[in-house]
Structure 1
Amino acid sequence: MKKLNLLFLFSAMILFSLSSCGDDLAKKAGSSMTGSINLEETRGAQKFSIAGDAVSIPAENMIILKAKDKQNEEAVTGIMRSLAKAENEAQKLDVKMTVAEGPINDIFAFSLESTTEENLTFEMYDEEGFELAANNNIEVTEGKNYKAIKVSSLKEGTYYFKLKNQAGAELNQMFSIERE
């Protein structure tokens, strides 16, 4: 019986030590975003070229995407048609969007040029119309605003941005992810 108790205690100590020895950099850094940002990749600013402008985008201006499960196909029927139609019918957002040629290190950079300050809502869809990101707020100041989206969890393909303001004005933009 004594051997059994010792064996149990020894096993419990091994399990405890294994579970507490993880190398979680985000926890060590005191981050509240544990698991959503790789600190080694986003610790400093990332450098991009957008329409000839060499820009540096800090980590706080990056949107981290994770693909959702595609379970509810009925709910998204016709979303692509709605996106295309919305561009023509809706009031157009007075923001100029310029996108980089493609993702660099799985980060897609873009600029938003505005004549006013406003908060925009960002949504993103895949080519089949499934929503990947919704209700993300982007603060835009007067002039050029550089933002980035981490797309490492997304497959190659065509994706659609939808930006809108509180008045309902919209801007739709398409981009592709192609990896070598």
Structure 2
Amino acid sequence: MKKLNLLFLFSAMILFSLSSCGDDLAKKAGSSMTASINLEETRGAQKFSIAGDAVSIPAEDMIILKAKDKQNEEAVTGIMRSLAKAENEAQKLDVKMTMAEGPVNDIFAFSLESTTEENLTFEMYDEEGFELAANNSIEVTEGKNYKAIKVSSLKEGTYYFKLKNQAGAELNQMFSIERE
């Protein structure tokens, strides 16, 4: 039993002397030491020197940050972006939309040019994403189709069109309403 006590005391003295020498060595070298804090193992306060002031910070006031492994995250994000872009291209509606610069007499005019005849679903959203019009059907024939929307009830701002066909392909456009 005495041997274990002596061994414990001897190892405690060595650890104490190494930890106290470490601060002196860091000061002599002119570098700052960073403290590694594990809240699972740290029960007392940690002492730091901040701008020449000795500060004691309790373990519950420590904020532990763990850096994310960005290499794997960036690789996955890159793959997901590529897949989303390819899916968006495949889901793009084959209709060309041309819009007037703005509403005239509170009527917003636009043209849809299509190579096929089909019924499209028209949806409209405000700039915050609230749906203003949904499931309105627009019949499009081959060639140019001129359409108009009465916008007198809408406030000034930015709005979004969404045209969809039955296969799910979409065309999204943005327009602004500015009144004098």
- The answer to whether the 8 A contact 2:47-2:57 is kept is yes
Please state whether the residue corresponding to 1:71 is helix, strand or coil.
Answer: helix
CA distance in 1, matches of 2:177, 2:114: 26
Number of equivalent positions = 180
| Alpha-carbon spacing, 1:153–1:165, altered in 2? closer, same or farther (3 Å) | same
State which drifts further: 32-41 or 89-98.
Answer: 32-41
- The answer to whether the 8 A contact 2:102-2:177 is kept is yes
| Alpha-carbon spacing, 1:102–1:168, altered in 2? closer, same or farther (3 Å) | same
- The answer to whether the 8 A contact 2:121-2:137 is kept is yes
| Alpha-carbon spacing, 1:99–1:19, altered in 2? closer, same or farther (3 Å) | farther
TM-score by length of structure 2 reads 0.52
Paired residue for 1:48?
48
Give, in angstroms, the shift of residue 142 of structure 1: 0.2
- Higher radius of gyration, 1 or 2: 2
| Alpha-carbon spacing, 1:50–1:149, altered in 2? closer, same or farther (3 Å) | farther
Residues 114-154 of structure 1 show CA distances to partners (whole Å, capped at 9, x for unaligned) of: 00000000000000000000000000000000000000000
- The answer to whether the 8 A contact 1:48-1:109 is kept is no
Q: Which has the higher contact order (CA 8 A, sep 6+)?
A: 1
CA RMSD of aligned residues (A): 24.6
TM-score by length of structure 1 reads 0.52
The percent of aligned pairs where both chains have the same amino acid is 97
Gaps of 5+ in 2: none
Gaps of 5+ in 1: none
CA distance in 2, matches of 1:53, 1:140: 75
Give the 4+ runs in structure 1 shifted more than 4 A. 1-87
Please state whether the residue corresponding to 1:24 is helix, strand or coil.
Answer: helix
